[in-house]
Chain A
């Protein structure tokens, strides 16, 4: 039984390079998934690696270190573009889970109901990946390939989530059967940019209604150019071909399909409202 706690990325990559070790972040998905069983015999704790924690801005955009906790995301002072991500951060599990759980952990766990994924999709996030031989960057939508499945190669580590710095305001809404500690029935994140009373661009993602959270490209293009006050009928009339909700213990598919339209309308309205207050 060993737990490595590297402090440099090189050490982390070399420890992971053997392919046998399991990456550990906050442990908030790894331990519950054991279902009371025995932990992996070799783990690499990535939370102490220099440069993997914190949110920074560089020339081309924003960089969220892979091991940044959701509490750090929730407390960071960020522009309105990130309001949806901030709201999502506060809905991740509980304070306890937000304190330990990491942004990259949420992505690598690849739950269809991951709270962080829709907000990051709506932000056009990419995932930066590193191995001993180099780094690559994948759009988030390509990184997560299915329920509990990602493009992460053996020995590879997520080092950061990259977000382009663009205009717009974000919003996030989560629908569940209780107030706290709840797995979503559905959730929606929207990032909307308004120019001269019209939606210049809308980026909308939905979670828990398809095997992987999905952007609604069809609706986004319908909303582009739409009057900010005229979005609701477009949203409610849209048929959401990107989604494939299922019946489960939380809700029936038909309800999810219908609720999503309501949530999208509200999230877009919220983002438009923030744009108005931001501009004003």
Chain B
């Protein structure tokens, strides 16, 4: 180097401060910034320039810090998100705008987005949607659907912050400021600097047997601290999420069942790991099966699961076969979807330390208590001796429910009594984390001459991969939902989860329901066309209303709001159809289409107890603390649960201090999954707030109408003009405390799947307008209108955020995403939508008022993406006549379908 800094050092200006730090000049700038300079607001999502999370300004220009040599910043200026927001008023205004618009959900992409946006704002270029998209096109976001990010950049002004409020108020995220100012800390951001590093040794084959060389000698010769294999696991070398299905080993014992499965782990300093020789393991590749075809005759992956069937699901009502035989019209079809990767921008990460005879694990997780129990089982410890300290979570969508990185650090820290860390690489994350189940569906639907649905029959085969994970949930949930939110008097649905030698398929936003909707909602379009009935009208005619039985015989007297969702879409539908027709009259090669689809989703576990507990207390000094254990992975539970609690207690949101989901001090609010937190934890928060309020009112002997004001060491209660002061006791952590639980009322299903599987269903209908270049098969989305019955919007701004993010994932499912084991293991071969792929989204919030939900609210997370893919596919078919049965609808598949129907240019 041309050295202005001493040998072995790099001197540069970081966020306005001149620093000289010891570093190898060839390491990545991102590593220098995070590990040496302490700038952990620089996020590493891929190490390949595919995600942009590590974007920093070098001499004012945005670059990916993961692709620049550290030595290249010698003598130059580097600015990161935290420095920009602290020092540049323009960046501070941008941060405020991100807060007002909820442009950060999980916040992991926010540094990259904001740094890129600051460069644009400084450039003086005219701000338009296009210029913003061009400037931010190099940063991926998996949560927001990008629309609120675009809006926030366009509105980086001095507008006042959003007002606060309780239930129904669109307040800014309570945990938002750290995310937009660069101080949020995710899984790998809290790793101690002196921690040893763990790296897993993984199978390069879909299936293989293996044997190790001399591990002791290898450890010694390579300066490693420890090598771990199955022999080192003190407890059960297996984990899982469904009782009876704990089938996944931490380390494979004799044979690996999928490419990327761990057989060992090495522990040492980062330098030792970087210089390590190839790990001494020899592999014998074995025949493998990657799809359900052939799985029946393949070697059993798990003893006792005959023909590699993990489990099956079944729901039957009436006489489907008889009704189909007698139906005036029957449509049928085969549809398939592939593996879908969650694609959160934060790879799995964890660190652990041993504290006496206990273990403390910091990790990004959706399910701290399940993680705690799983670790305890692997470690052969009592659950009480394991403490999970969740960090901020940089996206989850289902995959961060399962144990991934945590057991490695737990085991290593326990054995070494030293802090240990691990962060998955992007390739490791994609190749080993759970996926959305690939589906192969055959479905038949029958209608009478008047266009009423009389029957449906559904047969879905789901590739559940090498291990069960949440496969049983998918198998159970799909038959309950495959009818869609429609009156279907005669119904028979079967599902099967089949083991193959792939990464395990598990939980992903919707648990199989988005896949079944792809089949059912496309067949509804085909049926409507056959009947000559408008497609929206056909759905409206057949949809469930209050009082109608579902396919499990459950009847909702309140809160079945899908009819209102369709009604809300109607004016948009009419306009869009007319606009598309007018466009198509004058365009030969480009053709526009409009599609509609609906979806429904039961909130919480299927016919199983899944309680949440919420705790709150008032300290002797009058501080009100809410122990909020419903992990916020970006969806907004920190904000929504607090709004509900504040409303129930009768205080302002600003009066509340949040205590996070640390398993030592915050009770179990269940997993962040199945759209259950607003409904279930929200109810627990409501009950907790009400209980605490009742205690306080009793102490002051005042009426229900009293107004609570928290003071220093006392509570003031004002009731009918009189103020009473209640002094707080000075003993214990809390002078007053309440702990309340809520468990949804459900009933078990009988052998035909009849019963009340969920207390609450949310419903949605979405409409897509798009344009197809018929010569190339490319699809340009123009607009999505999304009508969602959320029961009651606790926070309409966050509801919109969920809808927009879910729609973006639905777009990916429809148009571009497919994980192919061993082939699309990075974010340039596995494509998720970019800022230029998500069109304007208009959210229509329907509030039917749920019978059970807190203040009438329902869950929302999964519902948002269920209708999107079929709405897109239906719009492609409307535009071109070409129907896509096998996703994703990439340009080549769309073009092939157009050629097949002969409508192309």
Contacts and interface: CB of A to CB of B under 8 A. Distances in A.
B891 A175 contact: yes
A2 B50 CA distance: 27
B72 interface: yes
Contacts of B350: none
Nearest to A47: B72
A43 B851 CA distance: 67
Interface in A145-201: 175, 177-183, 185
A95 B778 contact: no
B895 to A, nearest CB: 6
A207 B785 CA distance: 38
A177 B837 CA distance: 10
A26 B833 CA distance: 26
B63 interface: yes
B116 A95 contact: yes
Given A7-B2, A95-B62, A185 B891 contact: yes
Given A95-B135, A99-B62, A252 B892 contact: yes
B26 A95 contact: no
B274 A95 contact: no
A113 to B, nearest CB: 10
A45 B69 contact: yes
Nearest to A262: B775
A51 interface: no
A182 B831 contact: yes
Interface in A213-238: none
A39 interface: yes
Contacts of A48: 2
Nearest to A29: B67
B405 to A, nearest CB: 15
A2 B69 CA distance: 11
A83 B439 CA distance: 45
A133 interface: no
B698 interface: no
* Contact-residue size bin, chain A (C-beta under 8 Å from the other chain): 35 or more
Interface stretch (A30-38, A135-143, A268-276): A30-38
A180 B828 contact: no
A173 to B, nearest CB: 10
B68 interface: yes
Interface in A118-137: none
B841 to A, nearest CB: 16
A31 B69 CA distance: 8
A37 to B, nearest CB: 8
Contacts of B775: 262
Contacts of A177: 815-816, 831, 890-891
B138 A96 contact: yes
A246 interface: no
Given A31-B47, A96-B55, A262-B776, A45 B895 contact: no
Nearest to B62: A96
A3 B1 contact: yes
Interface string B121-147: 000000000000111011110000000
A100 B67 CA distance: 9
A175 B69 contact: no
Contacts of B778: 175
Contacts of A2: 1, 25-26
B896 interface: yes
A18 B834 CA distance: 43
B74 interface: yes
Q: What is the predominant secondary structure among interface residues of chain B facing chain A?
A: loop
B652 to A, nearest CB: 42
Contacts of B63: 96, 99-100
B831 A259 contact: no
A31 B66 contact: yes
B61 A5 contact: no
Contacts of B837: 178-180
Given A95-B116, A179-B837, A249 B25 contact: no
Contact of B138 (A26, A95, A183): A95
A28 B49 contact: yes
A28 B119 CA distance: 20
Contact of B823 (A6, A96, A249): A249
A94 interface: yes
A251 B776 CA distance: 12
Interface string A1-22: 1111111000000000000000
A50 B427 CA distance: 38
A43 B818 CA distance: 37
B836 interface: yes
A8 to B, nearest CB: 11
B64 A100 contact: yes
B28 interface: yes
Contacts of A107: none
B69 A24 contact: yes
Contacts of A180: 133, 137-138, 834-837
Contacts of B134: 90, 95
Contacts of A100: 63-64, 67-68
B71 interface: yes
Interface in B817-872: 818, 820, 823-824, 828-829, 831, 833-837
A152 to B, nearest CB: 20
A258 interface: yes
A158 B461 CA distance: 55
Contact of A255 (B26, B140, B895): B895
B52 interface: yes
A90 B836 CA distance: 14
B427 A97 contact: no
B895 A258 contact: yes
Given A249-B820, A262-B776, A5 B137 contact: no
B355 interface: no
Interface in A33-61: 35-36, 38-41, 43, 45, 47-48
A175 B815 CA distance: 14
Interface string A231-268: 00000000000000000011110011011001100000
B138 A93 contact: yes
Contacts of B67: 26-28, 30-32, 97, 100
B1 A4 contact: yes
A71 interface: yes
Nearest to B75: A5
A27 B62 contact: no
Given A96-B116, A177-B831, A3 B25 contact: yes
Interface string B761-800: 0000000000000011110000000000000000000000
B26 A41 contact: yes
A41 B69 CA distance: 12
Among A47, A99, A181, A183, the one with the most B-chain Cβ atoms within 10 Å of its Cβ is A181
Contacts of A256: 892
A175 to B, nearest CB: 6
Contacts of A178: 815-816, 831, 833-834, 836-837
A274 B374 CA distance: 65
B377 interface: no
Nearest to B832: A178
Nearest to A90: B134
B621 interface: no
Contacts of A259: 776-777, 891-892, 895
A94 B138 contact: yes
B891 A255 contact: yes
13 contacts: A3-B25, A3-B72, A28-B67, A32-B47, A43-B26, A47-B72, A94-B138, A95-B116, A178-B816, A179-B834, A181-B828, A259-B776, A262-B776
Interface of A: 1-7, 24, 26-28, 30-32, 35-36, 38-41, 43, 45, 47-48, 71, 90, 93-97, 99-100, 175, 177-183, 185, 249-252, 255-256, 258-259, 262-263
Given A26-B68, A179-B837, 16 more contacts: A3-B25, A3-B71, A28-B67, A31-B48, A31-B49, A38-B275, A90-B134, A96-B64, A99-B61, A178-B815, A180-B137, A181-B50, A181-B828, A183-B828, A259-B895, A263-B776
Closest 3 CB pairs of A and B: A94-B138, A179-B836, A180-B137
